[in-house]
A and B are shown apart, each in its own frame.
Chain A
Amino acid sequence: MGQFTGSGLSSFRGQRLVFRGLDFDVGEGAMLHLVGPNGSGKSTLLRIMAGLLPVIEGQLRWDGTPLAEDRDGHRARLLYVGHADAVKGALSVTENLQFWCDMSGGGDMAGALERFNLGSLADLPARFLSAGQRRRLNLARLAAVPAALWLLDEPAASLDIASAAILEQAIARHLADGGCAVMASHGRHPPDGMVLALDQYAGNMADLGDPVL
């Protein structure tokens, strides 16, 4: 489906140079693991990849085209899972997921609920869900809406072992279909596949000449 590459990326947040000169390359069917200690910029890099944070240095490309030239297309092809679950307590489980399906122009809502074991909770107001169930509702978007690129920020947080296995299956299916994914993890279990260790790109303030504001 596509190849996602980045070159020379930097991030400067809150007077701190988080990383500098970072490159990556994720092809079809490939998964990139982001590892590094807290504060090394895993979430920041994912947000830059999504387009939430601006690219101040370097470039991001999809299939060779710079993202700056195709912002709308990039948004249409990606799914982002952040730390928060984006679940509205006053709406039911079904209404929550149906909303995100509608926002993306359609998707298999019922199938996604089943796959993530939420079928029995379909009409329950979401405020009664546990943390793990909310996370599964958030992740159900991955199964509901087709997208070429998945950007996942510690998706397995607050999931039990069975749910984590469901997530792994969903990721595996996505990669087998030709999609690609970038995932930040705590690094407790060393993952196989491509790994990007962010602390090797950590910036030093002394590298910058004149102090920047």
Chain B
Amino acid sequence: MSAPDPSPGSPLGALIARDIRLALRQGADSMMVIVFFVLVVVLFPLGVGPEPAILGRIAAGVIWVAALLAAMLSMDRLFQTDHEDGSLELLVLSPLPLELQFLAKATAHWLTTGLPLIIVAPLLGLLLNMAPAGYPVMLLALALGTPSLSLIGGVGAALSLGARRSGVLLSLLVLPLFIPVLIFGVSAVDAGLTGSAAKAQLLILGGLLLGAVALAPWAAAAALRQAAE
């Protein structure tokens, strides 16, 4: 007889759990994203020169851009395997609304990509000689910005599903849409570094995140239905 059944879960929880389980079991993928993040950041002292003052000035921007590029790498796989193995059409047909399913997938993506990036970021701040005053704000700003990236990137992933060169296309679509988050994210850290309050920028980041939570599911669900046709 088979092993005891796992307890039945809610549809939303089951989807998040499945994606996390898949990401953990195929763990090399998450690891590669973190390694890429570190590599990109390491390139800057090598390219720009190791002078601590200069590195400290650009540290916030470099970490944000590197996090953005690293997250982009993992984005096109968000729906790719589901599309290829036929799971996507079954998900589109399941009773749970597709918009909620998208939020679940974006959440799982953030937990397995965005969260590790946030955890590694302080270490990279050390490499770039970022002043101590910047760290708390940076973590907070990344915590508000990386979920937006999972959401906006998810829309791009859904739109470019099944396209030729979908990886590059995805970046072309998502990076312009992400520029406002980038601008305010770096501005927040810079404010923290100069000692002024970063409250306005953080509030705007929060607003952008709420906007993404509200709007991205509709666009992504429409795109996913098109892809499943």
Q: A residues bordering B, Cβ < 8 Å?
A: 47, 50-54, 72, 75-76, 78, 80, 82-88, 90-91, 94-95, 98-106, 109-110, 113, 119-120, 122-123
Shortest distance in angstroms between B113's beta carbon and chain A's nearest beta carbon? 17
**Known interface pairs A52-B93, A78-B93, A83-B86; A95-B21 also in contact (CB < 8 Å):** yes
Contacts of A95 in B (CB 8 A): 6, 18, 21
User: Which residue on A lies nearest to B92, using beta carbons?
Assistant: A52
Q: How far is the CA of A52 from the CA of B85 in the complex (A)?
A: 16
Q: Is B3 an interface residue (CB 8 A)?
A: yes
Interface presence of B196 (CB below 8 A): no
- A74 closest partner in B (C-beta): B93
| B22–A90 CB distance below 8 A | yes
A86 touches B86 (CB 8 A): yes
Which one of B5, B14, B86, B95 contacts A99 once the chains associate, using CB atoms below 8 Å? B14
What CA separation (Å) do A47 and B93 show in the bound complex?
Answer: 10
B2 pairs with A105, CB closer than 8 A: no
- B9 engages A102 (CB within 8 Å): yes
Smallest CB-CB A-B distances: 10 pairs: A84-B86, A122-B2, A102-B14, A86-B86, A90-B25, A86-B87, A76-B95, A103-B94, A102-B9, A103-B11
Known: A52-B228, A78-B93. A102 touches B8 (CB 8 A): yes
Distance A213 CA – B164 CA, assembled complex (angstroms) = 23
A80 touches B93 (CB 8 A): yes
Closest beta carbon of chain B to A140's beta carbon, Å: 12
Interface residues of B in 78-132 (CB under 8 A from A): 81, 84-87, 89-97
- Expressed in whole angstroms, the Cα–Cα distance for A51 and B13 within the complex equals 25
Q: Which of A78, A103, A110 contacts B5 (CB 8 A)?
A: A110
Chain A: CB-nearest residue to B83: A84
B174 at the interface (CB under 8 A from A): no
Across the interface, do A50 and B6 meet the contact criterion of CB distance under 8 Å?
no
- Point out the residues of chain A lying under 8 angstroms from B89, CB to CB: 52, 80, 82
Inside 8 A of B21's CB, which chain A residues have their CB? 90-91, 95
Residues of B within 8 A of A94 (CB): 2-3, 5-6
Could you pull out 23 A-B pairs where Cβ atoms are within 8 angstroms?
A47-B229, A50-B93, A52-B228, A52-B229, A75-B94, A80-B89, A80-B90, A80-B93, A82-B86, A82-B89, A86-B87, A87-B85, A90-B25, A91-B18, A91-B25, A98-B6, A100-B90, A102-B13, A102-B14, A103-B14, A103-B15, A104-B94, A120-B2
Chain A residues, Cβ within 8 Å of B10: 102
Chain A residues contacting B15 (CB-CB under 8 Å) are 103
Pick from A87, A98, A103: contact of B91, CB under 8 Å: A103
Please state if B86 and A85 are interface contacts (CB–CB under 8 Å).
yes
Nearest-neighbor residue (CB-CB) of A138 within chain B: B86
Given contacts A82-B89, A86-B90, A90-B25, is CB(A72)–CB(B95) below 8 Å? yes
Q: In the complex, which of the residues A50, A86, A91, A123 has the most CB atoms of chain B within 10 Å of its own CB atom? A: A86
